[in-house]
Amino acid sequence: MTETVSPTDLRALLQQTGVPEVLERLDRELVGLAPVKTRIHEIAAYLVVDKLRRELGLVATRPVLHMAFTGNPGTGKTTVALRMATILHRLGYIRRDHLVVASRDDLVGQYIGHTAPKTKEVLKRAMGGVLFIDEAYSLYRAENERDYGQETIEILLQVMENQREDLVVILAGYEDKMEQFFALNPGMRSRIAHHIRFPDYTEEELVAIGKLMIAEQNYYLDEAAERAFVEYVRCRRRLPNFANARSIRNAIDRFKLRQAKRLFERAGQVTPDDLRRIAEEDIRASEVFRECEEKGGQDAP
């Protein structure tokens, strides 16, 4: 006689985990990135279904959860990794809502016998949660036969395979360099279940991100400053070493410094509005405008 199992409301099950709240927070925190948000929602839905299937005995094995986040700097990869750790924890795939961020310097030693202890110490701290390795391709330096990064990769491969029920690894970095890294390390590619590409922000999205950052710090742009900020973003995107939201955050810090200097030099009494307002001159004093003109004008292709 076949046992009858009552149907399950997947939406209600998802609500019980609190994951929708995490997804909503991610949507609020990150401007744009629609393809990324879609993939995160898909992964969350898949994990809820997988959790239910395993509870009903329909499948015994746990899915591989290691991921690769590719894209330019400042596109929200670390923020998404943080939220992914929370999602995995709430669904019971990791023991701790815990993210450890590491780079080559944290993992690779400088002499024989130094790398394994460093790598294992980072893995120990991350165990039960998520290990996020930024610029993961830097672990492998093909031009240097004596480089110790290969030892880290070998240890990671073992842990990603043998302890995947207690650790999720997210590898991150530039898309082209990560592709080269996977081509040179096929064992690593085979252990990655989800590849998520983070696109650059558009000019409009960067302006929105900047305004959001400014408001969160209890500042605001006056009307002329808003126009100057739009021009600033347009210029900065064309210059070298642009890092999306990271560059905008750094720019805002400099706007605040110039505002403080302006108020200090003016002396006299200040109002709360004076302390909150970023003026056009605080933005246009940036060297970015001069550098942009030297490249041939703001509207040049």
Q: How far apart are CA 287 and CA 163, in angstroms?
A: 50
Average pLDDT value for residue range 25-45: 91
- Residues 6 or more apart whose CB falls under 8 angstroms from that of 287 comprise none
Q: Answer whether residue 202 shows pLDDT above 80.
A: yes
Residue 237 in this model has a pLDDT that exceeds 80: yes
Which of the two residues, 25 and 228, has the higher pLDDT score?
228
- Judged by DSSP in three states, 170 sits in strand
Tokens 């400014």, residue located: 214
Residue 213 predicted with pLDDT over 90: yes
Domains along the sequence of the chain with CATH: 10-198 (3.40.50.300), 203-294 (1.10.8.60)
The arithmetic mean of pLDDT across residues 243-260, rounded, is 96
Greatest pairwise CA separation for the chain in angstroms: 88
Q: What per-residue string of b and e applies to 174-187 under the rule 16 or more CB within 10 Å gives b?
A: ebeebbebbeebee
CA-wise closest residue to 86 among 20, 184, 136, 156: 20
CA distance 276 to 183: 51
Q: Residue 243 pLDDT > 80, yes or no?
A: yes
pLDDT for the residue numbered 138: 92
- Residues β-bridged to residue 194: 67
The per-residue pLDDT for range 99-155, each reduced to its tens digit, is 999 999 999 988 788 899 999 999 999 999 999 999 999 998 876 667 788 899 999
Please work out, in degrees rounded to the nearest 5, the angle formed at the alpha carbon of residue 249 by the alpha carbons of 244 and 73: 30
